Amino acid sequence: MDEQKKIHDTDAQSIQPEELAEPDLVAEEAFRAEREKRIEGFVLNISEDELADDPVLPEQKPEPEPAPVAPKRVERPLVRRKKNSWMYSTIYLCVILAIGVVLGNFVASGIRDLLGASRDETEVTITIDPDMTDGDIIRHLEEVGAIREPFFFTLYAKVTGATYKPGTYVIKGNADYELINNSLRGTANRIDTVKVTFIEGWTLQQFAKALEEHQVCDADEFLEAVNEEDFTNYKFIKAIPNPKERAYVLEGYLFPDTYEFYKYSTPKTVIRKILNNVNSYVITREVYDKAEALGMTVDEVLILASMIQKEVNNTTDMKMVSSVFHNRLKNWGATGKLQSDPTSYYEQTLGEEYKGLYDTYVCNGLPVGPISNPGRQAIQAALNPTKSSNYYFVADVNGKTYYAKTLAEHNKNIAYVNTVKPNTPGDTSVPTEGD
């Protein structure tokens, strides 16, 4: 160590600035040569173990580029900011107040319309067609003056679940929303009633056609309801013995009369109105008692009455024809054929599945059900036949009926009526009534 220190001191003395300052080229050249020699022979005195223990520096990642700096917001002078803030606050407050006033007026107007306070008492007429939507109905209410705020009425209708029935209604102009909704689904304010007259002897198909023509209900829906709806709460309907065999279960039970219906009624409502009339004024206790006295059911009486109704058109002949049918039923036995032409005609209007069930030239005794809807006279004739021994009858072209006790007499009457011309009086010498 002392030797190395001595060498180091010698080197330090050899490169003093005073010596370098002399212009001795030889000495300077020698100095440079000595320095280069020493540099080439320089050895770093570090052991291999120390070299192995040196940590390996991790690979340096490039430093990320600095994020762009947003331009610094320039603060406005304090005095101007306060001035703008006051102006914006004023505008904002005015907008809020304006919106509040508009909304307040809107709500107030809706409440007045809800209560009917904004409308006068003048009556208005409202017509609701079956194909109108709720939107169409509400627009119509506004057009006729029943409401003034359709938005509020629509909201009220949705909240309350209001429904409307087709028809024509008259209500006061200042009615509140609740009264309007109740009126448009009831009958108290309806004025669109129509009168429909069903003729004695009409079939249910003819009933259906008349109802559709008067816009009471759809014809097909009516005929479907006749068979599908349950009307067995009526005693006489429940007593029908063979409803599944009949083309129309209620044929013969809808009494011909003039009825007043609301337009766009349901078939069930229409049928119930007619059956209520039958229950109250047609099939009375007297009818049950007389049927029982004859050994018949009410259903059999109506079947017979429906045939009588189609055969003749006056009370006297009805009772005589009733006598003929009663005699045949009583004395020809269970295999006797009533041979009534109208039963054949009726069956021809039905499907093949009813073949032989209504035609009394084919079936024995009474047909499977009524062939028409008889009137009161025909029903009374079925219950109160004239006492006679007649088994046959035939009518001429003018509606005059001829009766006979035997087949020979009947054939004679047929030969005669074939000679009768329209509007020609019948020959009084031909017997017209049996004993």
pLDDT in tens, 43-75: 555 555 554 555 554 555 556 666 665 556 655
Residue 365's pLDDT band, with cuts at 50, 70 and 90, is very high
List the domains of the chain with CATH numbers: 123-183 (3.30.1490.480), 193-282 (3.30.1490), 285-417 (no CATH)
Please report where in the chains the tokens 């001795």 appear, as a residue.
24
Q: Tell me, what's the pLDDT at 90?
A: 75
Cβ atoms 255, 278 nearer than 8 A: yes
Q: How far is the C-alpha of 405 from the C-alpha of 96, rounded, in Å?
A: 103
pLDDT in tens, 225-260: 999 999 999 999 999 999 999 999 999 999 999 999
Averaged pLDDT, 293-316: 96
Q: Tell me, what's the pLDDT at 364?
A: 92
Averaged pLDDT, 114-130: 85
Q: Tell me, what's the pLDDT at 435?
A: 34
Q: Tell me, what's the pLDDT at 400?
A: 94
Residue 19's pLDDT band, with cuts at 50, 70 and 90, is very low
Cβ atoms 334, 364 nearer than 8 A: yes
Q: Which of 39-53, 143-157, 351-365, 402-416 has the lowest mean pLDDT?
A: 39-53
Q: How far is the C-alpha of 222 from the C-alpha of 209, rounded, in Å?
A: 9
Residue 430's pLDDT band, with cuts at 50, 70 and 90, is very low
Q: Tell me, what's the pLDDT at 83?
A: 59
pLDDT in tens, 326-360: 999 998 865 689 999 999 999 999 999 999 999 99
* Other CB atoms within 10 Å distance of the CB of residue 105: 10
Q: Which two tokens stand for residue 273?
A: 């109105």
> Which distant-in-sequence residues (6+ apart) come within 8 Å of 67 by Cβ?
none
pLDDT in tens, 307-319: 999 999 999 999 9
427 pLDDT higher than 60: no
Q: Tell me, what's the pLDDT at 109?
A: 66
Q: Tell me, what's the pLDDT at 47?
A: 56
Q: Is the pTM of this model over 0.85?
A: no
Q: Spell out the SS3 assignment of 278-293.
A: HHHHHCCHHHHHHHHH
Which residues on neighbouring strands pair with residue 125, listed in sequence order?
170
150 pLDDT higher than 90: no
Q: How far is the C-alpha of 241 from the C-alpha of 411, rounded, in Å?
A: 37
Q: What stretch of H or E contains 403?
A: strand 401-404
What value does the CA radius of gyration of the chain take, rounded to a whole number of Å? 57
pLDDT in tens, 367-400: 999 999 999 999 999 999 999 999 999 999 999 9
Q: How far is the C-alpha of 287 from the C-alpha of 205, rounded, in Å?
A: 26
What percent of the chain clears pLDDT 90, i.e. is strictly above it? 54
Q: Tell me, what's the pLDDT at 30?
A: 72
DSSP classification of residue 280: I
Helix or strand or coil: residue 106? helix
Residue 26's pLDDT band, with cuts at 50, 70 and 90, is low
